[in-house]
Amino acid sequence: MKYNKKDKPKVIVLFLVLIALWAFIGIYFAVLSKREEAKKAAAEVRRQAAAQALQVAQQTTGQSAMSPSSRLAALVAPVEPPKDDPFRPVIAPRTSGPRTSQGSQSRPKPILPPPPDATGYRSSNLHLTGVIIGNPSTAVLRVGDEHYIVREGDWLDSQLRVHEISQEGVTLRDARSTYKLRLGR
Protein backbone atom coordinates (compact mmCIF):
# COMPACT_ATOMS: atom_id res chain seq x y z
CA MET A 1 0.00 0.00 0.00
CA LYS A 2 1.32 3.36 -1.02
CA TYR A 3 1.20 6.45 1.14
CA ASN A 4 -0.77 9.35 -0.31
CA LYS A 5 -0.45 12.91 0.92
CA LYS A 6 -4.21 13.34 0.84
CA ASP A 7 -4.56 10.55 3.50
CA LYS A 8 -2.37 12.46 5.99
CA PRO A 9 -5.33 14.09 7.89
CA LYS A 10 -7.02 10.67 8.24
CA VAL A 11 -3.87 9.13 9.66
CA ILE A 12 -3.42 11.99 12.15
CA VAL A 13 -7.06 11.70 13.32
CA LEU A 14 -6.75 7.94 13.65
CA PHE A 15 -3.50 8.34 15.61
CA LEU A 16 -5.12 10.90 17.97
CA VAL A 17 -8.13 8.64 18.53
CA LEU A 18 -5.78 5.76 19.38
CA ILE A 19 -3.85 7.91 21.89
CA ALA A 20 -7.14 9.11 23.47
CA LEU A 21 -8.34 5.51 23.80
CA TRP A 22 -5.09 4.46 25.50
CA ALA A 23 -5.33 7.44 27.86
CA PHE A 24 -8.96 6.61 28.72
CA ILE A 25 -8.13 2.96 29.47
CA GLY A 26 -5.15 3.96 31.61
CA ILE A 27 -7.15 6.46 33.66
CA TYR A 28 -10.02 3.99 34.07
CA PHE A 29 -7.73 1.27 35.48
CA ALA A 30 -5.98 3.78 37.75
CA VAL A 31 -9.33 4.84 39.21
CA LEU A 32 -10.41 1.21 39.68
CA SER A 33 -7.21 0.33 41.48
CA LYS A 34 -7.65 3.31 43.83
CA ARG A 35 -11.20 2.16 44.60
CA GLU A 36 -9.96 -1.34 45.41
CA GLU A 37 -7.28 0.10 47.69
CA ALA A 38 -9.90 2.24 49.43
CA LYS A 39 -12.15 -0.80 49.93
CA LYS A 40 -9.28 -2.82 51.38
CA ALA A 41 -8.36 0.04 53.72
CA ALA A 42 -11.98 0.41 54.90
CA ALA A 43 -12.24 -3.36 55.52
CA GLU A 44 -9.03 -3.25 57.56
CA VAL A 45 -10.34 -0.33 59.63
CA ARG A 46 -13.60 -2.23 60.30
CA ARG A 47 -11.68 -5.35 61.31
CA GLN A 48 -9.50 -3.38 63.70
CA ALA A 49 -12.54 -1.65 65.21
CA ALA A 50 -14.31 -4.99 65.75
CA ALA A 51 -11.21 -6.47 67.38
CA GLN A 52 -10.88 -3.44 69.64
CA ALA A 53 -14.58 -3.61 70.60
CA LEU A 54 -14.23 -7.33 71.42
CA GLN A 55 -11.17 -6.60 73.53
CA VAL A 56 -12.99 -3.84 75.44
CA ALA A 57 -16.00 -6.12 75.98
CA GLN A 58 -13.79 -8.89 77.30
CA GLN A 59 -12.04 -6.49 79.67
CA THR A 60 -15.32 -5.15 81.04
CA THR A 61 -16.84 -8.60 81.57
CA GLY A 62 -13.62 -10.22 82.68
CA GLN A 63 -13.89 -13.02 80.15
CA SER A 64 -11.31 -14.26 77.75
CA ALA A 65 -12.03 -15.15 74.15
CA MET A 66 -14.71 -17.83 73.93
CA SER A 67 -13.76 -21.16 72.46
CA PRO A 68 -15.91 -22.64 69.72
CA SER A 69 -17.28 -25.30 72.09
CA SER A 70 -18.36 -22.67 74.65
CA ARG A 71 -19.99 -20.65 71.86
CA LEU A 72 -21.93 -23.77 70.81
CA ALA A 73 -22.96 -24.41 74.42
CA ALA A 74 -24.24 -20.84 74.67
CA LEU A 75 -26.28 -21.34 71.51
CA VAL A 76 -27.99 -24.53 72.69
CA ALA A 77 -28.58 -23.37 76.28
CA PRO A 78 -32.27 -23.19 77.23
CA VAL A 79 -33.86 -19.78 76.86
CA GLU A 80 -36.73 -18.46 78.94
CA PRO A 81 -39.89 -18.11 76.80
CA PRO A 82 -41.41 -14.66 76.38
CA LYS A 83 -44.07 -13.60 78.88
CA ASP A 84 -46.68 -12.78 76.23
CA ASP A 85 -47.01 -15.59 73.69
CA PRO A 86 -47.59 -14.10 70.22
CA PHE A 87 -48.95 -17.45 69.00
CA ARG A 88 -51.65 -17.92 71.63
CA PRO A 89 -55.01 -18.80 70.10
CA VAL A 90 -57.50 -16.00 69.62
CA ILE A 91 -60.41 -18.41 69.95
CA ALA A 92 -60.53 -20.33 73.23
CA PRO A 93 -59.71 -24.05 72.99
CA ARG A 94 -62.44 -26.66 73.19
CA THR A 95 -63.85 -27.21 76.65
CA SER A 96 -65.82 -30.37 75.91
CA GLY A 97 -64.63 -33.69 77.16
CA PRO A 98 -63.86 -36.71 75.00
CA ARG A 99 -66.44 -37.74 72.43
CA THR A 100 -68.78 -40.56 73.26
CA SER A 101 -69.99 -43.18 70.86
CA GLN A 102 -73.39 -42.67 69.23
CA GLY A 103 -74.90 -45.65 71.04
CA SER A 104 -73.97 -44.27 74.43
CA GLN A 105 -76.64 -42.48 76.47
CA SER A 106 -74.23 -40.10 78.25
CA ARG A 107 -73.56 -36.80 76.53
CA PRO A 108 -70.29 -34.92 76.63
CA LYS A 109 -70.12 -31.58 78.39
CA PRO A 110 -71.81 -28.83 76.32
CA ILE A 111 -69.46 -26.46 74.51
CA LEU A 112 -71.37 -23.23 75.03
CA PRO A 113 -72.06 -21.68 78.43
CA PRO A 114 -75.66 -21.70 79.66
CA PRO A 115 -77.88 -19.41 77.56
CA PRO A 116 -78.47 -15.94 78.99
CA ASP A 117 -82.25 -16.10 78.58
CA ALA A 118 -85.04 -18.66 78.57
CA THR A 119 -85.21 -18.81 74.75
CA GLY A 120 -81.83 -20.53 74.63
CA TYR A 121 -79.49 -20.34 71.65
CA ARG A 122 -82.26 -20.54 69.10
CA SER A 123 -82.82 -16.77 69.39
CA SER A 124 -80.85 -14.19 67.46
CA ASN A 125 -77.76 -14.25 69.70
CA LEU A 126 -76.14 -17.28 67.96
CA HIS A 127 -74.25 -16.36 64.74
CA LEU A 128 -72.10 -18.36 62.33
CA THR A 129 -68.84 -16.48 61.60
CA GLY A 130 -66.77 -19.10 59.79
CA VAL A 131 -66.73 -22.58 58.26
CA ILE A 132 -63.74 -24.82 57.54
CA ILE A 133 -64.58 -27.79 55.35
CA GLY A 134 -62.29 -30.74 55.99
CA ASN A 135 -62.06 -33.94 57.94
CA PRO A 136 -63.54 -33.12 60.41
CA SER A 137 -65.34 -29.97 59.28
CA THR A 138 -65.39 -27.20 61.85
CA ALA A 139 -67.37 -24.00 62.31
CA VAL A 140 -66.90 -20.86 64.37
CA LEU A 141 -69.98 -19.71 66.25
CA ARG A 142 -70.32 -16.33 67.95
CA VAL A 143 -72.43 -15.87 71.06
CA GLY A 144 -72.28 -12.25 72.17
CA ASP A 145 -68.59 -11.32 72.14
CA GLU A 146 -67.28 -14.88 72.53
CA HIS A 147 -66.33 -17.24 69.69
CA TYR A 148 -66.50 -21.04 69.88
CA ILE A 149 -65.13 -23.72 67.56
CA VAL A 150 -67.55 -26.60 67.01
CA ARG A 151 -67.54 -29.84 65.01
CA GLU A 152 -70.29 -32.10 63.79
CA GLY A 153 -71.76 -34.00 66.73
CA ASP A 154 -70.91 -31.39 69.38
CA TRP A 155 -73.62 -30.50 71.89
CA LEU A 156 -74.11 -26.75 72.20
CA ASP A 157 -76.30 -27.08 75.27
CA SER A 158 -78.18 -29.95 76.89
CA GLN A 159 -80.58 -30.28 73.92
CA LEU A 160 -79.08 -28.54 70.86
CA ARG A 161 -76.54 -30.46 68.75
CA VAL A 162 -74.45 -29.63 65.65
CA HIS A 163 -75.87 -31.98 63.03
CA GLU A 164 -74.07 -30.95 59.83
CA ILE A 165 -71.45 -28.43 58.69
CA SER A 166 -71.41 -27.50 55.00
CA GLN A 167 -70.25 -24.63 52.82
CA GLU A 168 -73.70 -23.07 53.02
CA GLY A 169 -73.85 -23.10 56.82
CA VAL A 170 -74.42 -25.20 59.92
CA THR A 171 -77.45 -27.35 60.70
CA LEU A 172 -78.44 -27.61 64.37
CA ARG A 173 -80.95 -30.13 65.75
CA ASP A 174 -82.79 -30.69 68.96
CA ALA A 175 -85.48 -33.25 69.80
CA ARG A 176 -88.21 -31.33 67.96
CA SER A 177 -86.72 -29.02 65.31
CA THR A 178 -83.91 -28.38 62.86
CA TYR A 179 -82.24 -24.96 62.63
CA LYS A 180 -80.00 -23.65 59.86
CA LEU A 181 -77.32 -21.00 60.49
CA ARG A 182 -75.89 -19.30 57.42
CA LEU A 183 -72.68 -17.32 57.08
CA GLY A 184 -73.03 -13.58 57.55
CA ARG A 185 -76.54 -13.69 59.01
The CATH number of whichever domain residue 130 belongs to comes to: 2.30.30.830
**Which residue range is the domain that position 177 belongs to?**
120-182
> SS3 of 69, please?
helix
β-sheet bridge partners, residue 175: none
The three-class DSSP label of residue 22 is helix
Give pLDDT tens digits for 58-79.
Answer: 666 655 556 666 667 666 777 6
Instruction: Tell me the longest C-alpha to C-alpha distance in the chain.
Output: 121
Rounded CA gap, 93 and 182, in Å? Answer: 23
Q: What is the pLDDT of residue 63?
A: 56
pTM for the predicted model, two decimal places: 0.41
Considering the domain boundaries, does residue 73 fall inside one? no
Is 79 inside a domain boundary? no
**H or E stretch covering 140:** strand 138-143
Domain count of the fold of the chain: 2
Tell me, what DSSP letter sits at residue 43?
A: H
